[in-house]
Amino acid sequence: MKSHFQILIIGGGTAGITLAAQLKLKDASLDIGLIEPSDKHYYQPAWTLVGAGTYDFKETERNEADYIPKDVYWIQDKATGIDPEQNQVSTAQSGTFTYDFLIPVPGLVMAPELLPGLPEALDKGVVCSNYTDPEHTWKVLQNFKGGNAVFTQPTTPIKCGGAPQKIMYLAEDYFRKKGIRDQTNVLYATPGTIIFGVPDFAKTLNKIIHDRNILFKPFYAPEKIDAEKQEITFRYSKPGESNCTIMEGNPLGEELIGAMEIKVHYDMLHLAPPQTAPKFIQESKLSIQDGPGKGWIDVDIHTMQHKRYPNVFSLGDVAHLPTAKTGAAIRKQAPVLVENMLSMIKTGKVGQESYEGYSSCPIVTRYGRMLLAEFKYDNVRDSDPLISKFVDTTKEQYSMWLLKKYGLPFMYWNLMLRGRA
């Protein structure tokens, strides 16, 4: 078995496959190895639609082997450790591999154990998550008869920060279609401070939640779940606040426990589980050791090159980049990494390409409507020049729904994973 590669990629998800394909298109002679244990590849952005009963889960699944570029050596195994001093990666079963250049892009892992009560409750009964089992979400929506429908997210970074509210809008629309909206409280509770970070899109979303009578609770950090009692406890996390007040007779029946904890009964609960970088990334010297970015890979936010190990580059979900963790971000990061790494291979100097933080979040706001939130570093709005010529992306649009349901999946499978988008 081959054990040394010019370029070694860890991860065969969106980032790993896109990078392998782009590198091979630029230079077919590159010697590339790719470590990925799974034989299935999923188009996860469509899981929001699966959870709302408007997309077939089977359509989101393909064989990994069909997308790993020809002439890329597939090591079907799990990476377990990285030693950047020795240019080595260890695996669970296949031994150790060495490299000239390394691209660790393994994506995030679900860590439900970080929220007490969640491992016992997740994907059972009325507790669901599009992140883990969107088909169960659809069952929960169909079985829901009214009461408190609670949607929340953790304090950790997550894949696509907008996803927890997308399913909330679709569920609210579904309850209207089903004729049970009058018997339902729809609660969107988030540890965040606002509905969305980019003002232009926040304005539209604030109007939507107001017009559709959605209860929005910022500074609500989920703390624990009691599946038997169907209760979730939040900690009120507003900076500088030492106690929290709850109005008597509030529609949700919230209960204050102590100064800062709020207990809410749920008749259905959708949440994004806490998420982290894989353990072997957190424990490697490639990750930031202390402070706010602890556990994430320490890269330059513009060049994608590691700050301490020049032959290591990274992007996507595990890289410490102050932007959303989305496939759209990877699409803009990948060409930058490829050019900069190829320059490093050929000249010993990193290239001049710069990533400015672009990410996008297609926010479905009801069946048949979507707004496309595009932004870059510092929450600055950043529109695709082509789309913005024809469409005001800050408004709910049917055309954007068609893009989400048909256009983006086509682009993903046929262009992005082939290195052509």
Q: What's the token pair of residue 39?
A: 């034989």
Q: H-helix or E-strand containing 14?
A: helix 14-26
By C-alpha distance, which of 121, 80, 111 is closest to 97? 80
Q: At 65, which amino acid appears?
A: A
Determine, yes or no, domain membership for 131. Answer: yes
Tokens 């988030």 belong to 190
Phi/psi of residue 393, nearest 5 degrees: -75, -5
Alpha-carbon span 48 to 121, nearest angstrom: 20
Q: Please count the structural domains in the chain.
A: 2
Give the model's confidence band at 410: pLDDT under 50 very low, under 70 low, under 90 confident, else very high: very high
Whether 107 and 326 have beta carbons less than 8 Å apart is answered as: no
Average pLDDT of span 335-339? 98
Q: Are residues 41 and 137 in the same domain?
A: no
- This model's pTM is above 0.85: yes
pLDDT 10s digits, 95-149:
999 999 999 999 999 999 999 999 999 999 999 999 999 999 999 999 999 999 9
Average pLDDT of span 366-392? 88
Q: Are residues 233 and 308 in the same domain?
A: no
Q: Are residues 220 and 141 in the same domain?
A: yes
Q: Are residues 266 and 341 in the same domain?
A: no
pLDDT 10s digits, 266-309:
999 999 999 999 999 999 999 999 998 999 999 999 999 999 99
Write the CB contacts of 378 (distance below 8 Å, at least 6 apart in sequence): 322, 357
Dump strand ranges (E) for 175-242: 184-189, 215-217, 220-226, 231-236
Determine, yes or no, domain membership for 74. Answer: yes
Whether 108 and 318 have beta carbons less than 8 Å apart is answered as: yes
Give the model's confidence band at 390: pLDDT under 50 very low, under 70 low, under 90 confident, else very high: confident
pLDDT at 384 over 90: no
DSSP 294: B
Q: Are residues 290 and 141 in the same domain?
A: no
Alpha-carbon span 316 to 324, nearest angstrom: 9
For strands 184-189 and 359-366, give the pairing.
unpaired
Tokens 């089992």 belong to 133
What percentage of residues in the chain have a pLDDT greater than 70?
100
Q: Are residues 248 and 149 in the same domain?
A: yes
In the chain the first and final C-alpha atoms are separated, in Å, by 33
Determine, yes or no, domain membership for 385. Answer: no
Q: What's the token pair of residue 298?
A: 């320490």
Q: Are residues 168 and 314 in the same domain?
A: no
Determine, yes or no, domain membership for 11. Answer: yes
Q: Give the residue, 394 or 224, on which the prediction is more confident.
A: 224
By C-alpha distance, which of 318, 408, 331, 420 is closest to 362? 408
- Choosing from 225, 254, 274, the residue where a domain stops is 274
Average pLDDT of span 357-374? 95
Q: Are residues 259 and 126 in the same domain?
A: yes
What percentage of residues in the chain have a pLDDT greater than 90?
93
Helix (H, G, I), strand (E, B) or coil at 237: coil
Residues in the chain, overall count: 421
Mean of pLDDT over the chain:
96
Write the CB contacts of 283 (distance below 8 Å, at least 6 apart in sequence): 81
Cα dihedral angle (201, 205, 208, 213), rounded to 10 degrees? -170
Which residues are the active-site residues? 160, 361
- Choosing from 242, 274, 306, the residue where a domain stops is 274
Alpha-carbon span 138 to 148, nearest angstrom: 17
Q: CB atoms < 10 A from the CB of 181, how many?
A: 17
* Residue 240: CATH number of its domain: 3.50.50.60
Alpha-carbon span 135 to 128, nearest angstrom: 9
Listing DSSP states for 93-147 in one string gives SS-EEEEEEEEE----EE-GGGSTTHHHHTTBTTEE-TTT-HHHHHHHHHH--SE
Alpha-carbon span 334 to 246, nearest angstrom: 47
Domain, as residue range, for 253: 116-274
- Choosing from 274, 304, 334, the residue where a domain stops is 274
Q: Are residues 210 and 293 in the same domain?
A: no
Q: How far is CA 26 from CA 144, 343, 415, in A?
A: 52, 12, 15
Determine, yes or no, domain membership for 366. Answer: no
Tokens 């926010």 belong to 363
Determine, yes or no, domain membership for 302. Answer: yes
Q: Are residues 41 and 131 in the same domain?
A: no
Q: Are residues 77 and 145 in the same domain?
A: no
Q: Are residues 253 and 179 in the same domain?
A: yes
Write the CB contacts of 256 (distance below 8 Å, at least 6 apart in sequence): 244, 245, 246, 262, 263
Determine, yes or no, domain membership for 285. Answer: yes
Determine, yes or no, domain membership for 199. Answer: yes
